Each structure stands twice: as C-alpha cells, then as structure tokens.
C-alpha cells in the first residue's frame, strides 16, 4: 500500500487528485516513475474521450521577458468559464507562454507542419543518408523527423518548466485534472525592432 508521503509527493508533482494518485501507485506497485507514466496515459485517454466536445471558453497566457523586449502570448481554450478562471489554468497558460519564449517553436502541432516542409525535410535527410543500407534508412529517417518535431513543434517539445515531461504530457495532465477538453489554439511571439515571429496563424484544427 502506498504511504502518505508517496501520495503527497506524486500529487505535488502531477497535480492529480488523491484517488488517481492512489490508484497509480497501486497499479505501479509503488514505482514513482511508472506511476507518473500511468497518470499520463490516463490523461491521454480522458483527452481522447473529450475531443468531440466544444471548448468555447479560454484564457491567454502571457510572458514578458525581463528586458521588456520579448513578449509571448498563448491562447488556450476550455469548456467552461469556471475552468478558464481557475488558478490551474492561469498557471498552465503562463507556463506555455514561457515555453514559447524559451524554446522558439515554429509550429503548434505536427499536423500544422505543411506537406511542403515535410517533403523538404525528407529530401534533405534522404541526401544525408545516401549510401546507408536500405534496411536501416527508414528508422534513421524517422528518428531525424522525430528530432525535428521535438525541436520545432510546441506540443512535442520538452517542457521548459519541468523537463520530465513534454508539453503534450502537460496538456493531458491538465485535461485529467480539470475534467474538461483543453486545446492549445495559437501562439505568438513579438520582439522589439523585429517583425512578428511564430504568429497565431499556427492554430490547431478544431476537433
């Protein structure tokens, strides 16, 4: 049986409810890393169940760099005004605004990467792999694409505020915690004396 210290630690790390944390520790036989993975998977399952719901409310997360020369804005939608005004959602949105400032993503999701860009990357990587045996080319190519997505796609990036998870993991945890559909709709980055970068045209598709 999980101890109160283990339950408290996992709750503090994940923000999950006491019942979910207790269940995760039980299923993982006290293995904390396995329990975190279990909670992430539960969050993914809940997100999948809620994908057809309408997220008509939302909040903007804003980050202003200390020198006041960089500002990022992230638009996050949810189902209810109550959730949008919660401290958890404010923190979530602001964490993502910090993420955009720190990690400079180019795209919101993998689906947002144009077919032309994917084709261009494939051509580049194929040239780099000339002479490699065909039986290993496919895996290497996939690895290179995954690495590109992890660097350039917001949802696939390692979370700046907690490098034990990705932005996508964080989103799924929030869905499980809030109990509503949550979407990252867009992000923008503005810099003094520079044109707008990474504009809000990078929007996720409505599910």
Within a 10 A sphere around the Cβ of 26, how many other Cβ atoms?
A: 13
Most confident among 1-5, 81-85, 137-141, 179-183 (mean pLDDT): 81-85
Considering the entire predicted model, what is its pTM?
0.69
| CATH 1.20.1070 holds for 4-49 | no
Report the chain's mean pLDDT, rounded to a whole number: 83
Long-range CB pairs of 56-62 (<8 Å, 24+ gap) are 57/81, 57/83, 57/84, 58/84, 58/185, 59/84, 59/85, 59/89, 59/90, 59/93, 60/93, 61/90, 61/92, 61/93, 61/94, 61/95, 61/96, 61/97, 62/94, 62/97
Q: What is the pLDDT of residues 19-50, one digit of tens each?
A: 777 888 888 888 888 887 877 777 655 555 55
- The domain ranges of the chain are 4-49, 57-110+153-191, 114-148
For the cut 70, the answer to whether the pLDDT of residue 1 exceeds it is no
- The rounded percent of the chain whose pLDDT value lies above 90 is 45
The CATH code of the domain at 57-110+153-191 is 3.30.479.20
The three-class DSSP label of residue 74 is: strand
């Amino acid at each position: 049986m999980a101890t109160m210290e283990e339950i408290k630690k996992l709750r503090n790390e994940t923000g999950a409810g006491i019942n979910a944390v207790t269940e995760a520790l039980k299923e993982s036989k006290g293995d904390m890393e396995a329990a975190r993975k279990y909670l992430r998977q539960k969050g993914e399952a809940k997100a999948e169940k809620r994908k057809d719901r309408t997220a008509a409310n939302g909040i903007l997360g804003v980050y202003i760099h200390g020198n006041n020369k960089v500002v990022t804005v992230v638009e996050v939608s949810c189902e209810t005004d109550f959730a949008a005004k919660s401290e958890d959602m404010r923190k979530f949105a602001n964490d993502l605004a910090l993420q955009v400032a720190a990690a400079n993503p180019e795209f919101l999701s993998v689906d947002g990467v144009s077919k032309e860009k994917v084709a261009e990357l494939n051509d580049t990587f194929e040239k780099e792999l000339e002479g490699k045996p065909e039986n290993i080319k496919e895996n290497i190519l996939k690895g290179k694409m995954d690495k590109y997505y992890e660097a350039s796609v917001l949802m696939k990036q390692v979370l700046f505020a907690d490098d034990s998870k990705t932005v996508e993991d964080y989103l799924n945890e929030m869905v499980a915690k809030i109990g509503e559909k949550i979407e990252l709709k867009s992000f923008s980055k503005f810099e003094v004396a520079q044109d707008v970068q990474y504009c809000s045209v990078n929007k996720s598709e409505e599910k």
